[in-house]
């Protein structure tokens, strides 16, 4: 119950990994601020978690929009008085396309959610955490941002940027009491993975295996396995972890 009555903000909270995180912190009786694009999905998640409105705030919107992020953070502070944890799981997987076929709009969309959204949430949460002299932030990288994959120039490079952004911000805050880390999943059994496989299948004439293999473990990860890593990095057990990129990919990037 380490996070009992601590305030935890989660972006992409209705997605696979975000939802798994929400379940973990709800079990600890944390106060939650859940961000996502759909009001209906957010309300369904709060109902599934069994939390009353005064312990679980819902914010529907787009984290690449500065006004939305600023308002969300301020309303959370107004209601709960602090923010102890920020988990950034919102993501855009982009299309499966060769670089020359990758549309500029699709490329920008990857960066807007994966990089700009991560930047904006940290920008507006950090002042409160630094004032508290405590806090933990976990961003979502990817194995695609470590080794590179075909057909993922937008998504993969945005995850390289996210990992780098995490390390830069961690360096700035090494003596503030705020820790900033990232988790880089490999293939995880989520809606995003299903969409990527569908894109691969279209590109390869129906067989995604032309571009896809799970991991040396022979399977994809589960959202819960990734959420446990994020939970760990925000806990006191990871008190010396700052600027770390925790790779949870079943061994895909071993070599």
pLDDT band (50, 70, 90) for residue 230: very high
| Alpha carbon distances (Å) from 88 to 30, 50, 204, 209, 240 | 17, 22, 32, 30, 20
pLDDT in tens, 113-163: 999 999 999 999 999 999 999 999 999 999 999 988 888 899 999 999 999
Determine contact, residues 96/196, Cβ cutoff 8 Å.
yes
How confident is the model at residue 214, as a pLDDT? Answer: 72
Q: Which of 87, 20, 75, 17 is nearest to 48 (CA)?
A: 20
pLDDT in tens, 150-160: 888 999 999 99
* Residue 189 placed within a domain: yes
How confident is the model at residue 209, as a pLDDT? Answer: 66
Give the Cα-Cα-Cα angle 129, 133, 136 (nearest 5 degrees). 50
In this predicted model, which residue has the larger pLDDT, 207 or 6?
Answer: 6
CA dihedral 233, 234, 240, 246 (to 10 degrees): 20
pLDDT band (50, 70, 90) for residue 211: low
Q: Which long-range contacts (CB under 8 A, 24 or more apart) does 50-59 make?
A: 50/26, 51/26, 55/31, 56/26, 56/31, 56/32, 57/32, 57/33, 58/34, 59/33, 59/34, 59/35
- Give the domain extent around 59: 7-248
How many domains, the chain? 1
Q: Which of 193, 12, 212, 210 is nearest to 93 (CA)?
A: 193
pLDDT in tens, 30-72: 999 999 999 999 999 999 999 999 999 999 999 999 999 999 9
* Residue 237 placed within a domain: yes
Cα(12)–Cα(63) distance, rounded to whole angstroms?
9
* Residue 253 placed within a domain: no
Matching residue, tokens 């988790």: 183
Cα(141)–Cα(26) distance, rounded to whole angstroms?
24
pTM of the model: 0.93
Identify the CATH number of the domain in which residue 48 sits.
3.40.50.720
Q: Which of 125, 124, 31, 151 is nearest to 80 (CA)?
A: 31
Choosing from 25, 124, 155, 200, the catalytic residue is 155
Catalytic status, residue 155: yes
* Residue 2 placed within a domain: no
* Residue 255 placed within a domain: no
pLDDT band (50, 70, 90) for residue 102: very high
* Residue 254 placed within a domain: no
pLDDT band (50, 70, 90) for residue 208: low
What is the DSSP track for 85-116?
EEEE--------B-GGGS-HHHHHHHHIIIII
């Amino acid at each position: 119950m380490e996070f009992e009555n601590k305030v935890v903000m989660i972006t992409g909270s209705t997605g696979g990994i975000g939802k798994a995180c929400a379940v973990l912190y709800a079990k600890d009786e944390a106060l939650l601020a859940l961000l996502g694009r759909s009001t209906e999905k957010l309300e369904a998640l709060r109902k599934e978690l069994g939390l009353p409105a005064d312990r679980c705030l819902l914010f529907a919107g787009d984290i690449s929009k500065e006004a939305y992020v600023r308002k969300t953070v301020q309303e959370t502070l107004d209601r709960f008085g602090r923010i102890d944890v920020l988990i950034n799981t919102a993501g855009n997987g982009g299309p499966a396309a060769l670089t020359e076929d990758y549309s500029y709009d699709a490329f920008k969309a990857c960066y807007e959610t994966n990089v700009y959204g991560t930047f904006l949430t940290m920008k507006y949460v950090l002042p409160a955490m630094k004032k508290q002299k405590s806090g933990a932030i976990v961003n979502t990288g990817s194995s695609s941002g470590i080794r590179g994959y075909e057909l993922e120039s937008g998504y993969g490079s945005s995850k390289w940027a996210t990992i780098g952004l995490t390390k830069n911000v961690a360096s700035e805050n090494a003596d503030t009491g705020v820790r900033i880390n990232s988790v880089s999943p490999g293939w995880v059994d989520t809606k995003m993975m299903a969409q990527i496989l569908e894109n691969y299948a279209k590109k390869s004439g129906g067989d995604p295996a032309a571009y896809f293999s799970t991991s040396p473990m022979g399977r994809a990860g589960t959202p819960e396995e990734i959420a446990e890593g994020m939970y760990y990095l925000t806990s006191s057990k990871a008190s010396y972890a700052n600027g770390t990129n925790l790779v949870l990919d079943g061994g895909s990037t071993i070599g």
